[in-house]
Amino acid sequence: MAEPLRIAIAGLGTVGTGVIRLLDANREVLERRAGRAIEVVAVNARERAKDRGVDLSPFAWVDDMQAMAARSDVDVVVELVGGSDGPALTLARAALDAGKGFVTANKAMVAHHGMELAELAAINSAPFAFEAAVAGGIPVVKGLREGTAANALTRIYGILNGTCNYILSEMERTGADFDDMLRAAQEQGFAEADPTFDIEGVDAAHKLAILAAIGFGTRIDFEAVRCAGITQVTASDIAQADALGYVVRLVGIASMEGDGRLLQRVRPCLVPFRHPLAAVTGPTNAVVAEGDFSGRLLFQGAGAGDRPTASAVVADLIDIARGQAGAPFSVPVDQLGSAEPGDPGERRGRDYIRFTVADRPGVLAEITAAMRDAGVSIESLIQRGRDHDGGAVQVAMVTHEGPEHCVTEALALLEGSANLAARPLVMPILKD
């Protein structure tokens, strides 16, 4: 049997220790599948004395994680530190420059610097892999890169953030409002103390940019991802969506438009009850890929956590041990195209629009007049209750299918109106 694949792990949080546990628990089956043993030889973390529940004594402790890239007894560096820049990026560059394999779960770093790292990997004939960076334990990177390789993909979309999905599906289940469910998510460990990246959609945008590059053979363009989070979604929106036959989910969508431009967006959407994504609840991720020959493919599973993410990390290590890592973004980095960003105004679809307005005569007339003048056709309009104290009420509407720029124009006509008590919320209705 071939010599062992020797790895160094930077970062011993839940995922790093999960990798060590997995390698120990499944040692024999991994060796058979990889064709060689996978052995940890060195580790690094900020606190050496911390009890992590795993035996670190067989491994060399490295105080400066950058030194891992220079060790002669290391074949692959596994980075589980996080952060788009700083020490993680420095380690990635050093490892690939040294011809070491590099495996990471760091979606922010891949979204911002993936092209540079793929170029370094190609120059130095070093494997670069990041299955764990997108959707935890779901093999969606491999699924897109290999499973759909025979297809021209038209659309990739899905639920890419477990924190938001937990909050929205629990709002749906309990009737609670956003702030209450965010606190519950933090208490249960599904949301960070500072949840901004999750609830504003940035985490999902990182993942979408990576999937789009793989699925469409283009260079990553994170800056082109248009992003909106879930902080405006209320219990009333959830209830109204339910009455209309939908659930609310934060959905990342990448589509190659007919003019060859790539549209990438993260937004809360209304999802029809019958759509596969409607059944995805809790801290779960799901990705849909639509191919011209395969049709619709659904990848679903745990999007985070020590065990699923460790599983994805070790799957990359098995590929490297076999010599089957392949091109990180499905084609060699020098063959990746550069797609122009799509124009969201040209998207045709139906929308849910919710207004928070003053409860007085003439408000509906002003809203409907703006819609008429902008060319927006209204399918239905609902006012929930009446505030007899003269406070704000919510008015919701569903539009007929039309170009998005018309909705944008209508909202521009209403901007600054004394009748609007808050910024309107627009949620696209996901097509079946």
Is pLDDT of 255 > 90?
yes
- Return d(Cα 283, Cα 287) in angstroms, integer: 14
Looking at the structure, tell me whether residues 366 and 393 fall in a common domain.
yes
DSSP string, 341-355: BP-GGG-EE-EEEEE
Helices (H), 245-362: 306-322
- Which residue in the list 100, 107, 142, 207 is annotated as catalytic? 207
**Residue 303 pLDDT:** 83
CA-based nearest residue to 208, from 252, 166, 164: 252
Averaged pLDDT for residues 181-191: 91
**Contact status, residue 65 vs residue 87, Cβ threshold 8 Å:** yes
* CATH code for the domain of 31: 3.40.50.720
CA distance 237 to 135: 27
Q: Under a CB-based contact definition with an 8 Å cutoff, are residues 359 and 391 in contact?
A: yes
120 and 152, same structural domain? Answer: no
| 297 and 194 share one domain | yes
Note whether residue 319 is domain-resident: no
Query: Edge-to-edge strand order for the sheet containing 425-428?
Result: 378-384, 392-399, 351-358, 425-428
Under DSSP, is residue 403 helix (H, G, I), strand (E, B) or coil?
strand
Mean model confidence pLDDT for the chain: 94
What pLDDT was estimated at residue 364? 92
Q: Average pLDDT, stretch 335-340?
A: 93
Tokens 């609830």 identify what position? 199
Asked whether residue 289 falls in the same domain as residue 160, the answer is yes
Q: Which of 133, 148, 171 is the last residue of a domain?
A: 133
% of the chain at pLDDT higher than 90:
89
Q: Is residue 381 part of a domain?
A: yes
CB 345 within 8 A of CB 404: yes
Interval 94-127: pLDDT, tens: 999 999 999 999 999 999 999 999 999 999 999 9
Is 207 one of the catalytic residues?
A: yes
Residues 368-417 have pLDDT tens digits of 999 999 999 999 998 765 544 556 889 999 999 999 999 999 999 999 99
150 shares a domain with 128: no
pLDDT for 1: 63
Residues with Cβ within 8 Å of 411's Cβ and at least 6 positions away in sequence, in order, are 370, 424, 426
Do 260 and 339 touch, CB atoms closer than 8 A? yes
Domains in the chain, number: 3
Range of the domain at 420: 345-428
Q: Clarify whether residues 274 and 398 are in a common domain.
A: no
Of 267, 302, 337, which residue is a domain's last? 302
CB-based contact 92:102 (threshold 8 Å)? yes
Query: Mind listing the pLDDT tens digit for each residue in 293-308?
Result: 999 999 999 888 889 9
pLDDT digits (tens, 9 = 90+) for 233-253: 999 999 999 999 999 999 999
Amino acid 406: pLDDT = 97
Q: Mind listing the pLDDT tens digit for each residue in 119-164?
A: 999 999 999 999 999 998 899 999 999 999 999 999 999 999 999 9
Tokens encoding 218: 């283009």
Each residue of 4-15: b (16+ CB within 10 Å) or e?
ebbbbbbbbebb
Decide if 44 contacts 61 (C-beta within 8 A): yes
In the numeric block, which tokens belong to residue 27? 């040692």
Mean pLDDT in residue range 3-9: 97
The verdict on 364 and 412 lying in the same domain is yes
220: in domain: yes
CATH number at residue 169: 3.30.360.10
At residue 386, the pLDDT reads 56
